Amino acid sequence: MLLFCRFPTYLLATTSAVAIALAMRMTLALPLVASRSLAPEQVNAIASQTTVIIGQGLQEGDIEARQEWNPGSGVIVARDGNTYSVLTALHVVRTREVVYGVRTSDGTVHQVDDVDTQSNIIPLGEEQGEFGETIEGLDLAIVTFNSTQDYPIAVMGDSNHIDRGEPIYISGWPNPEDDSARRVREFREGNLTDIANPPSDDGGYSLLYTNETRRGMSGGPVFTQDGELVGIHGRGRAQEDGYCVDPELSQNNSCGIQTLHFIDRVQREQLALSFAQPPVDPEAIAHGMTNMEQADTIEDIYKDFTFLRSLLRDGPSGGCSSLLLGESCN
């Protein structure tokens, strides 16, 4: 028997780091619905529609000055009216009190104000050390943005129902090898190697898979062959002393955080979220197949993410709601 609960729609107090009000219904158990395996290209179509790229907003001169800029990935997991919730890695949005942009599959970049309010980014872990060397809790964060458009939501899966050796798919927006402004979403195929129990003390990592990943794919979704979301990718293969879960296994495996642990944290913090349930909607697959070329390529990411933010404390006082590199603000 499935259990459902409705939480009040007023602000639910939690710790100061994760206080948030999302007036939505939370499902306390995932239904056991028989799914069907999809072809990799069908899973890719779902990934194309639900994977987003997340980065800080750029200002005029940032690129010319070669400012460090490392966008990451995320996946849309819930909607309440015009408010969408994106799940990503905490280290993707570690810089606070700036304005971020979330680029969706239709090419729109939605601004996320983390200056006037900190409720639009909800960390589910806490970085430790001067440079965030370790993470206490989960290396996850919820990012919300507003839009009247209809965007597909990833179907929440259950990693308890996948076995070692089964296909696993990672979607994300890797950084190019050079300073190219062009970005292309990548879909990496691999297999589940292991599920660690208990999860790592550093970030809550527990999924290990053979998929090769690159920088910029952190925060991206981990899908099963049913097209269901079971994890968030966070770290690639071990480099020197950097590894997750196990140093030996990490030599040949990337790793992520199970969405089951995310759901458990949502329950404990009483963050009311409504998740899309299996199976995957065939219409979402069909739309993803026809829209993939537009969704998966950004010709000039600097142009897309260069918006002058009147929200920023160090920005001009209005008059320029959008600036591209080289333009002046009058």
| Packing angle of the helix pair 40-50, 282-295 (nearest 10 deg) | 70
Question: pLDDT by residue (tens digit) across 90-145?
Answer: 999 999 999 999 999 999 999 999 998 889 999 999 998 877 788 999 999 999 99
The tally of CA atoms less than 13 A away on the side-chain side of residue 145 is 25
What's the farthest any 2 CA atoms get from each other in the chain? 62
CA–CA separation, 103 and 111 (whole Å): 9
Lookup: tokens for 312: 């920023």
Location of structure tokens 């001009």: 316
CB 191, CB 209: distance < 8 Å: yes
Count of other CB atoms within 10 angstroms of residue 126: 15
Residue 86 pLDDT class (50, 70, 90 cuts): very high
pLDDT at 241: 63
Lowest mean pLDDT among 157-161, 196-200, 319-323: 319-323
The pLDDT value recorded for residue 324 is: 41
Q: What is the pLDDT of residues 245-302, one digit of tens each?
A: 777 878 889 999 999 999 999 999 888 898 999 999 999 999 999 999 999 999 999 9
How do residues 176-214 score in pLDDT, each as one tens digit? 887 789 999 999 999 999 999 999 999 999 999 999 999
Torsion of CA 160, 161, 165, 171, to 10 degrees: -80
Q: Can you give the pLDDT at residue 183?
A: 95
pLDDT per residue over 24-52, tens digit each?
333 334 444 445 789 999 999 999 999 99
The answer, as to whether pTM is greater than 0.85, is: no
Residue whose tokens read 């190019």: 176
Of 126, 184, 125, 119, the residue nearest 145 (C-alpha): 119
Question: Are the C-beta atoms of residues 282 and 288 closer than 8 Å to each other?
Answer: no
- Radius of gyration of the chain from Cα atoms? 19
